[in-house]
């Protein structure tokens, strides 16, 4: 009720604000400072779409669960007796108490700690001591939240009803399959609190214009920091050779090169409102994995029979991206935590059978993406401080290097505009 | 001014919110998240009624004082030269400076630290250096706040004028008298910050549905976790025997059993708008005191000549409850500290002459109520997190076990509704 | 946009609030608690006038810079190749990133850490890799903020355009000249966070009514805590003698006594809207410097040939005051940091050639003003807590001792009223 109350009083000025953004430029200052806009974002983007909640390998057995928390909302993601993963809002149907207070665990049944109402792993209320004879337990099961599993990733939607997941599944499933994330294990998780609005984190992610100086390790392995303006003959030849070599070799094992140019693949697709994307692309010659040395540092994952599989990349708006190599996979999940703060979790995965200290060493596994991540968080912090200054004015985006920043911002403004219009009528 | 300004713009939607609560169910989510409602609560409940500010034994001598602070308001509670306890707003009549910055102390006169304006213990301004000849000191005494003392408890009202205290005094005085809180001393105080809205703390206090699993020590001593649905013959017989035994014995020393059933006594009384309540009830056979062993662990208090006096209980809305045994008394005071936070002070009192280490040991005195309190605060935290989830919907209250939760919420909604209506006209 | 949006909805009630202040009394409670008023203050006072950003001796060489931060705004204050000091908003013209994240440093060029756009020390954009051929660098220089240097003080304005500085320069320059702040060095800086609204800090600064009890060291050296009501014959004679002695002596070296009475000089000048003031006044006989012993404790500064130069005082609204003696100078800078918090920086300066441990010792230099400052911050904290109490009512100001508090508040209310009126039309 408070949310809608606030919106009704401010929708006119929010519409004005949304209309003030110019294509080809960054966002005006108020996009990073308006509390009502932030609430609209949560409704129009975060609670409307699909979020990557985690990895299915985190909850291999029936009764294994983790909780997923977004700005007050909490969902229990639990594997049922039938092996399927389900989501339930983490609130008892009696007085509303939180049921699971741990981040993860295992339950036989879901028992509310307050008055011991008991729910099955399928959410059904099975016991409620102290209630009258005419109390209908069947009407008081845990409230479900939509969950979809694809290729080892667990997606969750807070929307009621959740939007269709079919197109995303069709796009992601075939490319994810050989990576074997469903047969992986979490090697390490690092949580960050980035002092920047979540959009600034995406803006950072959507271009490699900043890579040359800020990510010295990243640019050695990749082609995507080269663009139409600086892809010289040497770079073009190297990429063409890598692509040709890979295409020939990978075809044999059913893998395809799906991004064959310098620069980043176009994402999101504003025209078709596509929020998910996945592609495989070659690494620079000499790089078999996104590691500091370029060498494979852990056992091959999934269906891979050879280390030379380039890099698989996934991104889904509004909260996820992943870079996968032959031997490991790195997932990044975002959570808005107020106007000026974003929680980020980076998760490193390896094959389920790989053993730390024997099959791989953390000191080989972590640095490439830990460095890249932390370098980016510092830039995001600078960006936030910069847009805090009242003198900030959105400047021109580079058409060569920041087309995806432009696309992301256009997608975002369209999402909010549509939501605002639909909530007014 | 800001308060009323905010209200005027939002009273319509607040009235809607208040009307949305259904009897027999918990409160809708916005009751725990709406900042304007919180401000209304402060005005309609906290600054309108009587609050237990402390115990008269904390300030035995003229000039002894403590300060009482509620959301910015600060009151000096001081014993005057005539022995009476008075309240004065802790703000100088000159530039407004706080006069007493300590939580408690002793003063000859009340001297403002800023420019040394001097007030007597009766609040009168006696010196104001540097003011012109025509300055009228008699118009610049400290502003009084109403204070009432009953049976060793110090009540304070921030209302102007304060509501009548007569009915509360008539109800509390006779039952409090034999406990001798005015001849007691504070043995120990523990302060908590509970991460939950103050109403959730009261909702927790108003039922013993949660006791079976969460308060193993408490249920051994008491009958109030049994209700109409689970008071079996064995329990009924035990209570009847305890009541009969007590009634016979206590009559001799002028004490009466005023609550003779299982379950909690009805409070608050919504029909008659009664915010205070006091009763004496037997403990389980073998329990002489609310202690871990059930044994008396300190000298008898007040007028008691025998340890077998059951338990005296007091509760006053919105901020106080107390459980007293023959040998000690435990007061709990609440203070709202924002929408999602409640400060709680638990105070253990014993006879004024009792000496720690000689007549009693803290390790015997504290655990029973320290455990009960801390178990409750954790449940309140779970409750807050649960109602934070947007999927939370108020569920059905147990008619057997949560009638007092229902009553408290009905009383609360009525208070706010009435205040909102009167401030509109 | 948010700022103006908020204001438009609230300007009527803000005008009412401003009108509610009575001359001769303090401010009503809402002046210290209304968030919209605070935003108006930032616009009408802090971002409209001139602020002392620092001392020119902090950035002696071309390329030396410090950053000045006020509620999100950040300005780079840098000495250019031509020796002039300039101000630039600390936000890149590309994506807005903060350019300088350090508090102070030295730069060859100003390079944005995000995408390496390069600006000269004069703010001109010289390089922007990755931009198209038609990109006009000349339109994308750093946005300037007005800076003025006078007598070693660096003033900065966030206003666009900045108001005229000419009258302030004319008033300050001749009195500041002999002090030699432009040939000084910073001996020590202490930063405080005072838990009080910035106006309370100024109210404290604008009277010496509180000095007698609270500043025992200060009153030994000065005459300004005596006023019309308590300047007795002994004090009057002492001041007259000190003034006569000084006037005779100082005339020889071109210094003048510009404040010859007890009590504080009148400031601000409400009638003529004068926000800057400077005067020289004698110290008590036996005091050559504002030190604990009254003795000179560091080499003479500037043009002084003799230690007996009394004390030079400067004050500029809204953020600065300074007390200078023959041998050292103490600057105090304020920054609002929310409704209930003020950041304060106290800077001790000595002659540029003076060497700690040889020419002066910190333990002699600091105590006089460190004590005075910290005594005041505690009083400001008491004042804030006092005006937090809802019972606070603005009391009468002493006409003898608090005329400058009255003047400051009148000046402040006039500033806000005028700004509110002009932003409505």
Nearest CA in chain B to A141: B395
pTM: 0.94
Token pair for A350: 């390896």
Nearest CA in chain C to A34: C2
Q: In terms of pLDDT, which residue wins out, A251 or B279?
A: B279
Written as tens digits, the pLDDT of chain C (425 aa) is 334 444 445 778 999 999 999 999 999 999 999 999 999 999 999 999 999 999 999 999 999 999 999 999 999 999 999 999 999 999 999 999 999 999 999 999 999 999 999 999 999 999 999 999 999 999 999 999 999 999 999 999 999 999 999 999 999 999 999 999 999 999 999 999 999 999 999 999 999 999 999 999 999 999 988 998 888 999 899 889 888 888 888 887 788 878 888 888 889 988 888 999 999 999 999 999 999 999 999 999 999 999 999 999 999 999 999 999 999 999 999 999 999 999 999 999 999 999 999 999 999 999 999 999 999 999 999 999 999 999 999 999 999 999 999 999 999 999 999 999 998 76
| For range A380-401, the mean pLDDT | 97
Cα dihedral C179, C184, C186, C191, rounded to 10, equals: 30
- A401 and A208 Cβ atoms separated by less than 8 Å: yes
A123-176, pLDDT tens digit by residue?
Answer: 999 999 999 999 999 999 999 999 999 999 999 999 999 999 999 999 999 999
Does the pLDDT of residue A3 top 70, yes or no? Answer: no
CA distance A27 to A275: 20
Looking at every residue in chain B, the average pLDDT score rounds to 94
Residues of chain B contacting residue C379, judged by C-beta atoms under 8 Å apart = 97, 113-114
- Bridge partners (DSSP) of residue B75 are B68, B89
Contact A383 C96 (CB under 8 A): yes
**Nearest residue, CB atoms, C72 vs list A28, A34, A390:** A390
Q: Indicate the SS3 state at residue B317.
A: coil
pLDDT score of B44: 97
- A18 and A420 Cβ atoms separated by less than 8 Å: yes
Does the pLDDT of residue A10 top 80, yes or no? Answer: no
Whether the link from the prior residue into A318 is cis, omega within 30° of 0, is yes
pLDDT score of A425: 63
Nearest CA in chain B to C27: B95
Q: What strands lie across the sheet with B329-336, from one edge to the other?
A: B184-194, B342-351, B329-336, B320-324, B311-316, B276-281
Alpha helices in A102-209 (DSSP H): 166-176, 198-205
pLDDT score of B425: 63
Main-chain phi, psi angles of A64, to 5 degrees: -70, 140
Main-chain phi, psi angles of C363, to 5 degrees: -70, -20
User: Kind and range of the H or E element at C334?
Assistant: strand C329-336
Position A7 confidence tier, pLDDT thresholds 50, 70, 90: very low
- A41 and A74 Cβ atoms separated by less than 8 Å: no
pLDDT score of B269: 87
pLDDT score of A270: 83
pLDDT score of A73: 97
CA A315-A318-A321 angle, 5° bins: 25
pLDDT score of A260: 80
CA B255-B260-B265 angle, 5° bins: 100
Contacts A–B by Cβ distance under 8 A:
99
A40-80, pLDDT tens digit by residue?
Answer: 999 999 999 999 999 999 999 999 999 999 999 999 999 99
Residues of chain B contacting residue C29, judged by C-beta atoms under 8 Å apart = 1
Contact A130 B400 (CB under 8 A): yes
pLDDT score of C1: 33
Contact B394 A96 (CB under 8 A): yes
Crossing angle for the helix pair A403-424 and A2-19, to the nearest 10 degrees: 130
Contact B389 A1 (CB under 8 A): no
Q: For chain B, list residues whose CB is within 8 angstroms of any CB belonging to chain A.
A: 13, 17, 20, 26, 28-30, 33-34, 203, 209-210, 212-214, 227, 229-230, 379, 382-383, 385-401
CA distance C215 to C323: 15
Q: Indicate the SS3 state at residue C224.
A: coil
**Nearest residue, CB atoms, A2 vs list B26, B30, B392:** B30
- B320 and B314 Cβ atoms separated by less than 8 Å: yes
pLDDT score of B259: 80
CA distance C266 to C25: 17
Contact A1 B30 (CB under 8 A): yes
**Nearest residue, CB atoms, C399 vs list B101, B132, B145:** B132
The per-residue DSSP string of C375-398 comes to HHHHHHHHHHHHHHSTT----BPP
Contact B394 A93 (CB under 8 A): no
How far, CA to CA in Å, does C274 sit from each of A222, B16, C316, C414? 62, 52, 9, 12
Residues of chain A contacting residue B29, judged by C-beta atoms under 8 Å apart = 1
The percent of residues in chain A predicted with pLDDT above 90, rounded, is 86
**Nearest residue, CB atoms, A113 vs list B34, B382, B394:** B382
pLDDT score of B245: 86
Residues of chain C contacting residue B131, judged by C-beta atoms under 8 Å apart = 396, 398
Contact B73 C400 (CB under 8 A): no
How close B27 gets to chain A, by Cα (Å)? 9
Sign, CA dihedral B294-B299-B301-B304, equals: positive
Written as tens digits, the pLDDT of chain B (425 aa) is 334 444 445 778 999 999 999 999 999 999 999 999 999 999 999 999 999 999 999 999 999 999 999 999 999 999 999 999 999 999 999 999 999 999 999 999 999 999 999 999 999 999 999 999 999 999 999 999 999 999 999 999 999 999 999 999 999 999 999 999 999 999 999 999 999 999 999 999 999 999 999 999 999 999 988 998 888 999 899 889 888 888 888 887 788 878 888 888 889 988 888 999 999 999 999 999 999 999 999 999 999 999 999 999 999 999 999 999 999 999 999 999 999 999 999 999 999 999 999 999 999 999 999 999 999 999 999 999 999 999 999 999 999 999 999 999 999 999 999 999 998 76
Crossing angle for the helix pair C198-205 and C367-388, to the nearest 10 degrees: 120
Give residues with Cβ within 8 angstroms of B336, minimum separation 6: B38, B41, B42, B46, B70, B71, B197, B198, B342, B343
Nearest CA in chain C to A12: C5
């Amino acid at each position: 009720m408070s949310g809608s109350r606030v919106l009704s009083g401010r929708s006119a000025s929010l519409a004005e604000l949304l209309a003030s953004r110019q294509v080809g430029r960054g966002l005006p200052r108020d996009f990073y400072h308006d509390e009502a806009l932030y609430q609209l974002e949560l409704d129009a983007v975060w609670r409307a779409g699909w979020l990557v909640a985690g990895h299915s390998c985190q909850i291999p057995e029936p009764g294994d669960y983790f909780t997923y928390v977004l700005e007050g909302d909490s969902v229990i993601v639990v594997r049922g007796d039938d092996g399927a993963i389900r989501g339930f809002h983490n609130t008892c149907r009696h007085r509303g108490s939180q049921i699971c207070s741990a981040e993860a665990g295992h339950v036989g049944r879901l028992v509310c700690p307050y008055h011991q109402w008991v729910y099955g792993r399928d959410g059904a209320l099975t016991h409620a001591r102290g209630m009258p004879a005419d109390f209908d337990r069947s009407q008081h099961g845990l409230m479900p939240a939509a969950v979809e599993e694809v290729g080892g990733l667990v997606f969750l939607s807070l929307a009621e009803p959740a939007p269709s997941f079919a197109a995303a599944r069709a796009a992601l499933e075939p490319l994810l399959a050989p990576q074997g994330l469903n047969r992986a294990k979490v090697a390490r998780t690092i949580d960050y609190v980035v002092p920047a609005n979540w959009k600034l984190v995406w803006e950072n992610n959507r271009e490699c214009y900043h890579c040359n100086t800020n990510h010295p390790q990243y640019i050695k392995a990749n082609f995507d920091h080269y663009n139409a303006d600086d892809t010289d003959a040497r770079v073009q030849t190297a990429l063409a050779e890598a692509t040709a070599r890979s295409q020939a070799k990978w075809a044999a094992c059913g893998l395809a090169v799906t991004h064959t140019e310098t620069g980043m693949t176009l994402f999101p697709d504003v025209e078709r409102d596509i929020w998910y994307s996945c592609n495989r692309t070659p690494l620079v010659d000499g790089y078999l994995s996104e590691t500091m040395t370029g060498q494979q540092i852990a056992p091959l994952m999934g269906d891979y029979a050879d280390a030379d599989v380039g890099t698989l990349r996934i991104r889904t708006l509004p909260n996820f991206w992943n870079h996968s190599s032959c031997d490991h996979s790195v997932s990044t999940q975002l959570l808005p935590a107020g106007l000026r703060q974003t929680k980020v979790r980076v998760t490193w995965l390896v094959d389920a059978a790989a053993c730390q200290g024997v099959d791989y060493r953390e000191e080989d596994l972590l640095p490439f993406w830990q460095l890249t991540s932390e370098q980016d968080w510092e830039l995001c912090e600078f960006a936030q401080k910069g847009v805090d200054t009242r003198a900030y004015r959105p400047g021109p985006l580079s058409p060569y290097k920041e087309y995806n920043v432009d696309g992301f911002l256009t997608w975002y403004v369209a999402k909010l505009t549509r939501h605002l219009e639909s909530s007014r009528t």
